[in-house]
């Protein structure tokens, strides 16, 4: 039986188990063909995605981000640090605790040699005086006054005996036995002589360095003469005659409170309209002589004489309160705005208090010619108005119906006006030019006295020493400097309080303004001015607590001036600062569109790169090929 032959396909063999064998390269090619057949270009990619586009876009984005700090630095507003806490502390301290300066009062009873005094009587008088003073001052202290921060000492002398109350102390009080009335050889009714005698006795104690405020003295001289109460031009007063004890206590407390505390008035409160000191601590006294119609007459004056008589002592006396400068001028063709009515009985033209608001002709009176008129110095105008022949003589009628003795008036915070009529009220000949007349020495002296009264009124004092604070005052001696020493003390206390309040209020406003505007420019100069202002205010408070009046007034004036300088600094008044909202509104239209497109491009490119890389990884996993 023949065996059949089985043919084999070429290239194909079988192993011992009957399994066919293939060539290795044929298996690899089949796998590749299978992978190619399964490749999806939407889900796979065979090449590694590039990162050049991604790097390029990210570099542009990072350049924007890196340039942002430089942009913010280039538009940064410089702000010097300000002591906000110190400012708030000063403001709260002054508002809660009013500035009250200490005062010291002493009463000296000078009796006859046979009169007997006792310590119990001195203690009783001290208690009576303190009780009545508290009733007059009230429970709520007035800023710039002595308030309840005062002491009272009572000394009783008779011959060689001297008794003083136990609570008086020994600091800066006069020594017993120094007031020897028998050594005074003049008339006790000669007020000027008695005033100088008491000043020579008490002057040595005034300059005492002990703290506690100025020392004010009332001397009671028990003599068999008519009762007389006189307030001197220094820091003392005296009572002459035999007066009942209760009446003496009333007189003494009236002098202490109404004069030495309140400056000759019952109300010692501060009125801002009677604080005519500029924000820079300066006052300009501008004096003008106005010829209403030079066709009628022309008048001139020797102003240097007025300066010597009136102004030089006043400038020296008010130096602790303000830096005063004086100017003068003569103007022509300066008619007034109001109309005057003819009075047949007086044979004069009359203008009343209702006409005063319209008297000053601001269109024709070019008074603000001072170089300080445009600054922060206070300019007080003092005008001598010479009416024309058509309204001469011109007189002022007061609201009570009486005629004014001075024929002048004041306007608070502006100045004063004096109407001076030509002696003859007859115009010069029309055929020639009017001659230039000069005000006589008597006229200049009278005008100077009226100006002095107006200056006193503008500072919140009585115009003269006739208007007394209470009844029973015989005389108040005037001072050649225009202000008595006790009046200058009152002005120093008032201006110390006013300046400190103004300083604290200005610095508080500056603090709130700076904190509300973060883009405001704060220069180093402003920071220094605020710092020095706080230091000056602290020094003023320290001097006030010690009773150093002049030093406290000068320090408070400096504190207010520095605060005003800081608040009105030119850099603060500039319009170069703006809010953050304004900042974004300006720069957003320039940078936001470009930055937004770059950011969107970076996000889009990053997503594309991640998608392409995922395709590449999917292809690698499917094909089994290593990258």
pLDDT of residue 10: 42
How do residues 431-471 score in pLDDT, each as one tens digit? 456 778 888 889 998 998 899 999 999 998 888 765 554 55
In 280-351, which ranges are continuous DSSP H helix?
303-306, 312-317
Tens of pLDDT, residue by residue over 463-502, are 876 555 455 788 888 888 889 999 999 999 999 999 999 9
DSSP code of residue 403: B
What is the rounded CA–CA span in Å between residue 36 and residue 623? 9
| Residue 26, pLDDT above cutoff 60 | no
pLDDT bucket at 6, cuts 50 / 70 / 90: very low
438: exposed, middle or buried (C-beta count within 10 Å: 0-12, 13-18, 19+)? exposed
Higher pLDDT, 277 or 572: 277
Strand order in the sheet with 475-476: 161-164, 150-158, 103-110, 215-221, 236-240, 228-231, 475-476
In this model, does residue 611 exceed pLDDT 70?
Answer: yes
Q: What pLDDT shows up at residue 374?
A: 59
pLDDT digits (tens, 9 = 90+) for 199-243: 888 875 445 554 667 889 999 887 766 778 899 999 999 988 888
Work out the pLDDT band at 177, boundaries 50, 70, 90: low
| Residues 6 or more apart whose Cβ sits within 8 Å of residue 189 | 225, 228, 240
Pairwise CA distance, residues 300 & 287, whole Å: 12
Instruction: Grade residue 610 by pLDDT with cuts at 50, 70 and 90.
Output: confident
Percent of the chain with pLDDT over 70: 81
pTM: 0.79
Which of the two residues, 8 and 246, has the higher pLDDT score? 246
Residue 527's pLDDT band, with cuts at 50, 70 and 90, is very high
* pLDDT(332) > 60: yes
Q: Note the pLDDT of residue 206.
A: 46
pLDDT in tens, 67-104: 778 777 776 777 888 999 999 999 999 888 888 888 98
Question: H-helix or E-strand containing 36?
Answer: helix 24-38
User: Residue 136 in 3-state DSSP?
Assistant: helix
Q: Which of 100-114, 180-194, 547-561, 582-596 has the lowest mean pLDDT?
A: 180-194
Residue 297 has pLDDT above 60, yes or no: yes
Share of the chain above pLDDT 90, in %: 19
Give the mean pLDDT of 412-440.
78
Report the range out of 336-345, 547-556, 604-613 with the highest average pLDDT. Answer: 547-556
As a whole number of angstroms, the distance between CA 14 and CA 293 comes to 148
d(CA 460, CA 410): 12
Please tell me the predicted confidence (pLDDT) of residue 241: 83
Q: 580-623 and 24-38 helices cross at what angle (nearest 10)?
A: 140
The answer to whether 347 touches 392, Cβ cutoff 8 Å, is no
310 CB neighbour count, 10 Å cutoff:
23
Say if residue 110's pLDDT is above 50: yes
Backbone angles phi, psi at 572, to 5 degrees: -70, -35
Task: Tell me the mean pLDDT in the region 142-146.
Answer: 82
Residues in the chain: 627
Q: How confident is the model at residue 29 (pLDDT cuts 50, 70, 90)?
A: low
Name the nearest CA neighbour of 321 among 556, 143, 559.
Answer: 556
Q: Residue range 191-197: average pLDDT?
A: 87
In whole angstroms, give the CA distance from residue 398 to residue 407. Answer: 10
Nearest to 293 by CA among 236, 336, 264, 327: 336
CA 459 from centre of chain = 17
**Cα 79 to chain centroid, rounded:** 23
Compute the Cα dihedral for 44, 45, 48, 54 and give only its sign.
Answer: negative
pLDDT band at residue 270 under the 50/70/90 scheme: low
Task: Say if residue 425's pLDDT is above 80.
Answer: no
If residue 105 lies in a helix (H) or strand (E), which one and from where to where? Answer: strand 103-110
Write down the mean pLDDT value for the chain. 80
CA neighbor of 174 nearest in space, from 142, 214, 203, 134? 203
Average pLDDT (22-42) is 58
Burial (Cβ within 10 Å: 0-12, 13-18, ≥19) of residue 298 = middle
DSSP secondary structure string, 415-447?
A: EEEEE---SS--PPPTTSPPPEEE--HHHHHHH
Residue 11: the pLDDT is 42
Cα-only R_g, the chain:
47
3-state secondary structure of 539: helix
């Amino acid at each position: 039986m023949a065996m059949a032959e089985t043919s084999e396909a070429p290239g194909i063999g079988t192993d011992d188990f009957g399994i066919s064998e293939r060539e290795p390269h044929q298996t690899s090619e089949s796998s590749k063909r299978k992978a190619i057949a399964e490749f999806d270009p939407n889900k796979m990619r065979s090449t590694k995605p590039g990162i050049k586009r991604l790097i390029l876009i990210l570099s542009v984005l990072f350049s924007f981000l890196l340039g942002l700090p430089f942009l913010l630095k280039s538009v940064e507003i410089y702000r010097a640090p300000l002591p906000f806490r110190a400012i708030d502390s000063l403001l709260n301290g002054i508002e809660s605790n009013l500035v009250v300066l200490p005062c010291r009062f002493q009463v000296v009873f000078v009796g006859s040699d046979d009169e007997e005094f006792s310590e119990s009587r001195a203690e009783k008088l001290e208690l009576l005086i303190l009780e009545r003073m508290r009733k007059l001052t009230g429970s709520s202290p007035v800023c710039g006054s002595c308030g309840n921060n005062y002491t009272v000492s009572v000394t009783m002398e008779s011959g060689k005996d001297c008794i003083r109350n136990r609570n008086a102390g020994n600091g800066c009080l006069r020594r017993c036995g120094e007031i020897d009335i028998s050594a005074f050889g003049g008339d006790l009714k000669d007020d000027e002589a008695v005033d100088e005698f008491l000043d020579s006795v008490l002057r040595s104690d005034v300059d005492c360095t002990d703290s506690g405020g100025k020392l004010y003295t009332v001397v009671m001289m028990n003599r068999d003469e008519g009762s007389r109460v006189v307030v001197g031009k220094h820091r003392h007063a005296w009572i002459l005659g035999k007066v009942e004890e209760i009446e003496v206590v009333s007189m003494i407390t009236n002098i202490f409170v109404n004069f030495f505390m309140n400056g000759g008035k019952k109300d010692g409160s501060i009125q801002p309209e009677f604080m005519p000191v500029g924000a820079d601590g300066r006052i300009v006294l501008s004096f003008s002589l106005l010829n209403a119609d030079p066709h009628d007459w022309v008048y001139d004056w020797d102003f240097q004489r007025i300066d010597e008589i009136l102004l030089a002592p006043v400038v020296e006396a008010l130096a602790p309160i303000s830096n005063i400068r004086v100017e003068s001028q003569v103007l022509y063709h300066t008619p007034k705005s109001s109309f005057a009515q003819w009075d047949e009985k007086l044979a004069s033209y009359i203008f009343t208090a209702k006409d005063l608001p319209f008297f000053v002709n601001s269109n024709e009176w070019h008074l603000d010619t001072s170089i300080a008129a445009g600054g922060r110095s206070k300019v007080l105008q003092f005008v001598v108005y010479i009416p024309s022949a058509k309204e001469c003589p011109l007189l002022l009628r007061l609201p009570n119906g009486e005629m004014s003795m001075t024929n002048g008036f004041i306007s608070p915070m502006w100045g004063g006006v004096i109407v001076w009529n030509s002696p003859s009220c007859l115009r010069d000949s029309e055929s020639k030019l009017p001659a230039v007349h000069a005000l006589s020495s008597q006229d200049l002296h009278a005008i100077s006295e009226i100006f002095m009264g107006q200056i006193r009124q503008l500072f919140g004092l009585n115009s003269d020493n006739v208007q007394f604070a209470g009844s029973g005052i015989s005389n108040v001696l005037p001072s050649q400097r225009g202000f008595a020493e006790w009046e200058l003390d009152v002005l120093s206390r008032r201006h110390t309080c006013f300046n400190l309040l103004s300083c604290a209020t200005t610095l508080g406003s500056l603090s709130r303004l700076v904190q509300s505007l973060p883009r405001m420019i704060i220069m180093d100069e402003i920071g220094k001015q605020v710092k020095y202002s706080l230091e000056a205010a602290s020094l003023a408070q320290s001097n006030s607590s010690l009773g150093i009046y002049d030093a406290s007034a000068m320090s408070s004036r400096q504190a207010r001036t520095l605060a005003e300088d800081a608040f009105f600094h030119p850099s603060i008044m500039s319009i170069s600062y703006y809010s953050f909202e304004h900042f974004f509104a300006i720069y957003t239209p320039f940078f936001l569109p470009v930055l937004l497109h770059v950011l969107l491009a970076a996000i889009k490119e990053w997503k594309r790169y991640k998608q392409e890389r995922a395709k590449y990884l999917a292809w690698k996993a499917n094909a089994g090929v290593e990258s």
